[in-house]
Amino acid sequence: MSENKLALSGKVAKAITPDMVGLFFEDINFAADGGLYAELIENRSFEAVKSKGENHNYVLKEDNLYAWSSTEDIEDNLEITFNQPVSEANPHYLRFTAQEPGQGFANKAYDGVSLKKGMTYRLSFYAREVNYPKGVIRAAVTKDGKTFASVDVAFRNATKRPAEWMDTIRVTCDTLEWNFYEATLTADADVSGGRFELHLTEAGSVEFDLISLIPSDAVAGVFRKDLFQALADLHPAFLRFPGGCIVEGTSIMRRYQWKKTVGPLVNRKINTSLWAVQGGNTIGQWEMQDCHYMQSYGIGFYEYFLLCELLSSEMRRCKPVPVLNIGVACQFRSYETVPVDSPEFQEYVQDALDLIEFANGPITSKWGKLRADMGHPEPFNMDMLAIGNEQWESGAVDLAPRYRAFEKAIHERYPEMKCLGTAGPFIQHPLHTAAWQFYHDEAKKNKDFAWAVDEHYYVAPQWLYDNVAMYDDYPRDIYVFSGEYAAHDANLSNSVEGAVAEAAMMTGMERNGDLVRLASYAPLFNRIGHSQWTPDLIWFDAEKVVLTPSWYVQKIFSDYAGTEALDLDGQEKALRESKLYVSAVKNGGKRILKIVNGADEEQTLSLADEAGAPLSTAAVLVTLAAASGEAKYVVATDAVNTVVGNKVLGPGIMSNLEVCLKRAPEDVRLKEDKTWISGSVEVPAKSVVVVVY
Contacts with ligand AHR by CB under 6 A lie at 26, 28, 243-245, 389-390, 425, 456, 484, 522-523, 533
Instruction: Report in angstroms how near the CB of residue 537 gets to ligand AHR at its nearest.
Output: 11
Nearer to ligand AHR, 407 or 484 (CB): 484
User: Which strands, in side-by-side order, build the sheet including 545-547?
Assistant: 525-527, 538-540, 545-547
- By the 8 A CB rule, do 225 and 249 touch? no
Please state, in angstroms and rounded to a whole number, the distance separating the CA atoms of residues 616 and 679: 6
Residue closest to ligand AHR, measured at CB: 244
Single-letter residue type at 134:
K
Instruction: Report in angstroms how near the CB of residue 481 gets to ligand AHR at its nearest.
Output: 13
Sequence-ordered list of residues with C-beta below 8 angstroms from that of 412, at least 6 positions apart, any chain: none
Q: Which residues of 108-128 are buried (b: 16+ CB within 10 A; e: fewer)?
A: bbbbbbbbeeeeebbbbbbbb
Nearer to ligand AHR, 491 or 512 (CB): 491
Instruction: Report in angstroms how near the CB of residue 531 gets to ligand AHR at its nearest.
Output: 11
Instruction: Report in angstroms how near the CB of residue 532 gets to ligand AHR at its nearest.
Output: 9
Instruction: Report in angstroms how near the CB of residue 81 gets to ligand AHR at its nearest.
Output: 36
Please state, in angstroms and rounded to a whole number, the distance separating the CA atoms of residues 580 and 367: 51
- Counts for the chain of helices (H) and strands (E), in that order: 12, 36
Helix (H) or strand (E) holding 353: helix 343-360
Nearer to ligand AHR, 215 or 388 (CB): 388
Catalytic residues: 390
- How many C-beta atoms surround the C-beta of residue 400 within 10 A? 17
Instruction: Report in angstroms how near the CB of residue 646 gets to ligand AHR at its nearest.
Output: 8
DSSP state of 33: I
Nearer to ligand AHR, 26 or 47 (CB): 26
User: Residues 14, 15, 21, CA angle at the centre, nearest 5°?
Assistant: 120
Nearer to ligand AHR, 358 or 539 (CB): 539
Please state, in angstroms and rounded to a whole number, the distance separating the CA atoms of residues 112 and 41: 9
E strands present in 99-242: 104-107, 113-115, 120-131, 137-143, 146-153, 179-186, 191-200, 204-215, 238-241
Instruction: Report in angstroms how near the CB of residue 413 gets to ligand AHR at its nearest.
Output: 28
Nearer to ligand AHR, 426 or 693 (CB): 426
- By the 8 A CB rule, do 603 and 683 touch? yes
339 upstream amide cis, omega within 30 of 0: no
Axis-axis angle for helices 496-511, 549-559 (nearest 10): 20
Nearer to ligand AHR, 495 or 531 (CB): 531
| Residue 167 Cα distances to 158, 482, 578, angstroms | 24, 69, 93
Please state, in angstroms and rounded to a whole number, the distance separating the CA atoms of residues 519 and 18: 12
Instruction: Report in angstroms how near the CB of residue 249 gets to ligand AHR at its nearest.
Output: 11
Nearer to ligand AHR, 129 or 484 (CB): 484
